[in-house]
Amino acid sequence: MNVIQQNIEEVKRRIAEACARAGRDPSEVKLLMATKTIAPDWILQAFECGELLIGENKVQELAEKYEALSAVPHRAHFIGHLQTNKIKDVIQYADCIESVDRFDLAEKLARRLRFEDKTIDVLIQVNTSAEETKSGCAPEEALSLIKQVSAFPDLRIKGLMTIGLFSSDTEKVRACYRLLKNIQEDCIKLALPNVEMAVLSMGMSGDFEIAIEEGSTEVRVGTSIFGERVYH
Ligand SMILES: *Cc1c(COP(=O)(O)O)cnc(C)c1O
């Protein structure tokens, strides 16, 4: 086993331990490998462990790696801020867009999908940390945005995504994840047509145990698998 494969085993062990503490079944928590800045040969090594879900935050990078990864059947989620001029490309390469956070984006996505006679899975991204620099709709606007987006049958709403607060204060981080869980529960009560609320994408290398304790069903892990990212 090489370093990447050892790291994946370690991450899976941490996920299993967090699940055990929270009384959850580890099969409820998917691992998404955040592969931004990581070269395809490293990602292929990770695929050898049977982990076949990746997330990219730039459409161009997603497109550039597509060819090199295409020999291995896998799924790719888009997890970055999405500009409307990248819609045409993102729906070509991504199986799910986790970062739908505004009506005009959803509307333009739906228009393009209809034109191409396609559908795509989406998550609604919520800014649970109230940091201005972060994407995501405001928590108090989430339900109305979900209602609006649910009017587009081309977008299949599967759940919610958030990026927690970057902080060593674990209770503040936990509050972000608890807020997303509460929005999920409020949304389920509304029983909206065309809305599934099973997915809670939350938790990263530094805090995914907390996210699992608060109900995460998908953790997005980069650094703990591939090491510190090098930006060129
Ligand atoms: C990079 C990234 C991650 C993973 O972050 P790490 O701290 O490296 O695990 C998770 N979510 C999003 C949206 C990211 O862009």
Provide residues with CB under 6 Å of ligand 1: 34, 36, 57, 79, 163, 204-206, 220-224
Q: pLDDT digits over 59-112, tens only?
A: 999 999 999 999 999 999 999 999 999 999 999 999 999 999 999 999 999 999
Cβ atoms of 211 and 193 within 8 Å: the answer is no
Atom 13 of ligand 1, residue of closest alpha carbon: 79
Helix (H) or strand (E) holding 158: strand 155-161
With cut-offs at 50, 70 and 90, classify the pLDDT of residue 1: confident
pTM over 0.85: yes
Handedness of CA 186, 182, 76, 29 (dihedral sign): negative
- Fill in the amino acid letter for 226: F
Q: Which atom of ligand 1 is nearest to the CA of 220?
A: 10
Task: Indicate which residue's Cα is closest to atom 12 of ligand 1.
Answer: 79
Contact indicator for 179, 128 with CB cutoff of 8 Å: yes
What's the distance, Cα to Cα, between the start and end of the chain in Å? 28
How far, in Å, is the centroid of ligand 1 from the Cα of 149?
Answer: 25
All structural domains of the chain: 3-226 (3.20.20.10)
pLDDT at 198 over 90: yes
